């Protein structure tokens, strides 16, 4: 069944965002489907990050609507987004370097147990569940669960940040912001494999990337942004690097949408 015959998990319709007299987004649409990767590409300043920050509740749109499973919803905060199954893994990852993988995965949502009427961190359970998510769901096995996050490789740190997001049982849409930035070829390949694993779990993945090689390796559709507008939406299998690059720089304005 094609995307056109299915209901998107999330839609953004006619999104405008103004900061004072500056229009950052103008009449932008977006649709993400379960089990697919939607890549968003464009130069710096194209509006990619602003659009995603609206979806994840960090910004509110000046106008426009967000539709979840066919119902219009208001996302006033990042907590609202998480509550309806939308989360993001940003390029900075937001890991606490001095904490181990399990502590990072449960940061802010620590598991506890009671002993003699007092609450204590349930480190054993957190470690067990962190290991299960990393290995059983993501196929990642760390050399040790006892090391600080700062001692891990970039790809391993990325996996911990992803595990923190997918641990939530209601996750349906995961935004990934430049997930392969600063990674070497081997770790980039592992991260792209993680994205394919998440897609196979029927999540809707929104990938922001400057690497067209990565975009063509894992995406189903490519949304091209330029100067705050969506200038194209293409089926990945039916386009090529040259066409996408032409739209990014404005050489192919008004290209047909899928």
CA–centroid distance for 114 within its chain: 35
| pTM (2 d.p.) | 0.88
Nearest to 59 by CA among 46, 48, 69, 67: 48
> 60-85, pLDDT tens digit by residue?
999 999 999 999 999 999 999 999 99
Biggest alpha carbon–alpha carbon distance for the chain? 70
Query: How many CB atoms are located within 10 Å of the residue 1 CB?
Result: 6
pLDDT at 255: 47
**Average pLDDT of the residues in 87-106:** 87
**Does pLDDT of 258 surpass 50?**
no
Strand order, beta sheet including 10-19 = 22-32, 10-19, 63-68, 71-73
Strand partners, 113: 120
Q: Can you tell me which residue has the tokens 């929104």?
A: 206
Query: How many CB atoms are located within 10 Å of the residue 87 CB?
Result: 19
Strands 204-208 and 37-41: parallel
pLDDT at 170: 87
Packing angle, helices 154-166 and 185-200, rounded to 10: 10
Specify the CATH class of 1-85+175-258 in words: alpha beta
The answer to whether 63 touches 72, Cβ cutoff 8 Å, is no
What tokens were used for 107?
């940061």
pLDDT at 15: 98
How far is 39 from 134, CA to CA, in rounded Å? 24
What tokens were used for 232?
């194209």
CA dihedral (172, 135, 181, 103) in degrees, to 10, reads: 90
Residue 253: band (very low, low, confident or very high) from pLDDT cuts 50, 70, 90:
low
How far is 214 from 228, CA to CA, in rounded Å? 23
**Does pLDDT of 237 surpass 70?**
yes
pLDDT at 67: 96
**Does pLDDT of 21 surpass 50?**
yes
Q: What is the DSSP string of 180-210?
A: TTT--HHHHHHHHHHHHHHHHTT-EEEEE-S
**Does pLDDT of 204 surpass 90?**
yes
Domain ranges of the chain: 1-85+175-258, 99-169
**Does pLDDT of 34 surpass 90?**
yes
pLDDT at 102: 93
Find the helix or strand (DSSP H, E) in which 252 lies: none
What tokens were used for 24?
């950052």
> For the chain, where are the alpha helices, taking DSSP H only?
48-55, 78-83, 101-105, 123-132, 154-166, 185-200, 212-218, 241-249
> 138-164, pLDDT tens digit by residue?
888 888 888 999 898 888 888 898 898
Nearest to 3 by CA among 29, 40, 36, 49: 36
């Amino acid at each position: 069944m094609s995307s056109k015959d299915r209901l998107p998990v999330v839609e953004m319709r006619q999104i405008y965002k103004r900061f004072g007299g500056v229009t950052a987004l103008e009449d932008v649409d977006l649709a993400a489907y379960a089990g697919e990767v939607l890549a968003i590409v464009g130069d710096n300043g194209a509006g990619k990050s602003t659009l995603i920050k609206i979806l994840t509740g960090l910004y509110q749109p000046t106008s426009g609507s967000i539709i979840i499973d066919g119902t219009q919803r208001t996302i006033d905060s990042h907590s609202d987004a998480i509550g309806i199954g939308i989360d993001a893994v940003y390029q900075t990852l937001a890991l606490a370097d001095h904490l181990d993988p399990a502590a990072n995965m449960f940061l802010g949502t620590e598991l506890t147990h009671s002993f003699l009427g007092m609450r204590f961190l349930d480190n054993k359970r957190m470690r067990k569940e962190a290991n299960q998510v990393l290995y059983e769901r993501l196929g990642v096995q760390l050399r040790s669960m006892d090391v600080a996050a700062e001692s891990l490789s970039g790809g391993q740190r990325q996996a911990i940040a992803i595990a923190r997001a997918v641990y939530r049982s209601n996750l349906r849409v995961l935004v990934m912001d430049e997930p392969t930035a600063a990674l070497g070829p081997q770790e980039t390949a592992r991260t792209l494999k993680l994205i394919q694993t998440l897609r196979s779990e029927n999540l809707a993945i929104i990938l922001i990337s400057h690497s067209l090689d990565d975009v063509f390796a894992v995406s189903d559709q490519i949304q091209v942004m330029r100067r705050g507008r969506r200038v194209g939406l293409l089926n990945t299998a039916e386009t090529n690097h040259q066409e996408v690059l032409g739209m990014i720089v404005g050489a192919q304005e008004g290209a047909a949408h899928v």
